[in-house]
Structure 1
Amino acid sequence: MEFLKFSKATWLCIVLATTVSAQSKCPASDYGPAAGVIESPGFAQHVNYGNDMSCTYNIKVAEGSKILLTVDSLITETCCDRVYVYDGPNTHSRVLIIWSGHLGAGSFVESTGNVVTVTFQSDNTVNAAGFSIRYAPSNAHLTPTTTAKPKLQIVNWKDRSTYWNSRPSPTDIHALVLHHTVDPTVQATYDALNNRHLSVHYIAAKNGTIYQLVDEANRAWHAGTGTWGSYTNMNDISIGIEIVNTGDEPFPTVQENAVAELSAQIVKRWKILPKNIVAHADFQEYDKTDVSGYFDFKLFYAALDMYPGLYTTKLSESDQKKVLYQASTTYSAAVKSIQERLQKYGYYLTADGIFGSATQLVVEAFNRHYCPEIFKQEEIVNGNEVRFAQNKRWYGISEERLAYLVAHS
């Protein structure tokens, strides 16, 4: 008999989730035009919000006003339960801020117009007290010292790294590569890179501080000769960010926000296309797994104002999880079509119509990056990485996401 294995943290989540009373019904969705309050389910009754929740709050005030949102109280599971504030009438609008964890009273953000959309999403484990957020019409100007988003903190470590060289062309930069470190701290990451004669442009600490090791105009040694699209030596044309994370744990929101802000600056500086923001795992030759499935690409793309609507699905939950294709040595024209479209987007594989091992690895990387609905996170057991065969299948949601990406690239 096979038994499920859970970490201590997972058992704690299960215990907490099953011992706390929770409210699972979303409150009203429309608010305004007068000032008011939005609250998480159960907050007014002093009951925790429920698991697997997705609540939307549409706030509209008088024309000509902005909207000031101010936190009175906010306590959620830091890793996974989040309040998204969109600067407009729907979730395709620009993300103003994402709140999670424990926030003190007084944290705020202001819209640019008279409409905002707020969504609250929780996962299927720990729930908490939730939030109470006041909204009010505002024409106030927020100075840079009072803005809700903290300034990106970059520490200069460029004198510490020697394992880099000049690019073939210092302005020929076309890609951004995201990694996770495996090592648990910035210093341990630097030591591991240095010991292996490697380097990276930036390391992102868990607290959101960024450490720069190599000038962007120079060639760091982080991505090898991996292939993406027409690029066959990624070190030559990419900028790399190592995100401190063991690979089997959630990324703190403050860290993900810092990575998104740094990425936004890099993308703007070098005019990098959305399709060329890639995870290390997307370079098929190396069979990598970073950035792990815990990384919130939905938050990332929203913060960069990229791929609006990517994570909106028209499929039912059962159709999202329906397996369309999996391991096979039999030729299929449909599989060849999938391979050709993955190639067109950038993935390196042979379009032979067979769902073999190479295609399975590409599909695993694709699902990890774009399909969190069906992806089962890797685990680390006794220092060894455990991966799951179900991630190497082509699902209904995989097909829908690939169609979107090809159409928008």
Structure 2
Amino acid sequence: MHISNGWLQEVRHVASPNYNARPPASDISLLVIHNISLPPGEFGGDAVERFFTNCLAADEHPFYSSIADMKVSAHCFVRRNGEIIQFVSFAERAWHAGRSCFGGETECNDFAIGVELEGTDSTPYTDEQYASLACLTVALQAAYPKITKSRITGHADIAPERKTDPGPAFDWPRYFALLP
């Protein structure tokens, strides 16, 4: 995988309006792993894409009425089959972490890249997802060398009062073993 001007070159791009400029003094140095499925627990379809682009109809599913007006995004989304979709340039601040703290630094969106895995806290992730996430991580580490293994974390670790993802189903040792 290759990153040019903040964009992966080998993946599909779906532009999200939910981003803004990183603060001038910020340095990309953290990778945050999340999970998402829409409707909850269901995989496939384009609901996540529509959610990150503000096109999710509130009346389409009972759960959507509670999230349809939210303005959120991630830099990338890794589907169950390993496909990666990029929504926001890595150079920009995606709106994925919310109120958060890592290593004493607050507002992780300022210096983090957010990757959503299609999944739930309790559903095992696929071989294809681990392979794609590892390839993506290697590309990110090459482009942003401050993202070391010790600066890769889960959403639950930076917002423990609010979040639980990527959940106990995510196999951290397996993922880290795929990285150089």
TM above 0.5, yes or no, is: yes
SS of the aligned residue for 2:113 comes to: strand
Which of 147, 154, 158 does residue 283 from structure 1 map onto? 158
Match of 1:293 in 2: 168
Residues 296 and 256 from structure 1, CA distance in 2 versus in 1: closer, same or farther, beyond 3 angstroms?
same
Asked whether 1:273 is paired with 2:128, we answer no
Question: Which amino acid letter does the alignment assign opposite residue 187 of structure 1?
Answer: D
Question: Which amino acid letter does the alignment assign opposite residue 169 of structure 2?
Answer: Y
Could you tell me how far 1:286 is from its partner in structure 2? 3.5
What runs of 5+ residues in structure 1 fail to find an aligned partner? 1-151, 306-409
How many residues matched?
Answer: 152
The structure with the larger Rg is 1
Could you tell me how far 1:267 is from its partner in structure 2? 1.8
Match of 2:81 in 1: 207
Asked whether 1:241 is paired with 2:115, we answer yes
Identify the structure with bigger relative contact order (alpha carbons < 8 Å, sequence gap 6+).
Answer: 2
Asked whether 1:254 is paired with 2:107, we answer no
Q: Contact between 2:138 and 2:179, CA under 8 Å: does it hold in 1?
A: yes
Question: Which amino acid letter does the alignment assign opposite residue 189 of structure 1?
Answer: V
Asked whether 1:192 is paired with 2:51, we answer yes
Which of 232, 236, 259 does residue 106 from structure 2 map onto? 232
Residues 298 and 242 from structure 1, CA distance in 2 versus in 1: closer, same or farther, beyond 3 angstroms?
same
Could you tell me how far 1:256 is from its partner in structure 2? 1.1
Residues 186 and 298 from structure 1, CA distance in 2 versus in 1: closer, same or farther, beyond 3 angstroms?
farther
Instruction: State TM-score, norm by structure 2.
Output: 0.77
Q: How does 1:360-399 map to 2 (within 5 A)?
A: none
Equivalent-residue separation in structure 1 for 2:112 and 2:170 (angstroms): 20
Question: Which amino acid letter does the alignment assign opposite residue 96 of structure 2?
Answer: H
Residues 261 and 178 from structure 1, CA distance in 2 versus in 1: closer, same or farther, beyond 3 angstroms?
same
Asked whether 1:177 is paired with 2:32, we answer yes
Q: Contact between 1:186 and 1:203, CA under 8 Å: does it hold in 2?
A: no
Equivalent-residue separation in structure 2 for 1:303 and 1:154 (angstroms): 20
Match of 2:3 in 1: none
Match of 2:14 in 1: 157
Could you tell me how far 1:171 is from its partner in structure 2? 6.4
SS of the aligned residue for 1:207 comes to: coil
Question: Which amino acid letter does the alignment assign opposite residue 303 of structure 1?
Answer: L
Match of 2:62 in 1: none
The CA RMSD measured in Å over matched residues stands at 1.9
Q: Contact between 1:226 and 1:286, CA under 8 Å: does it hold in 2?
A: no
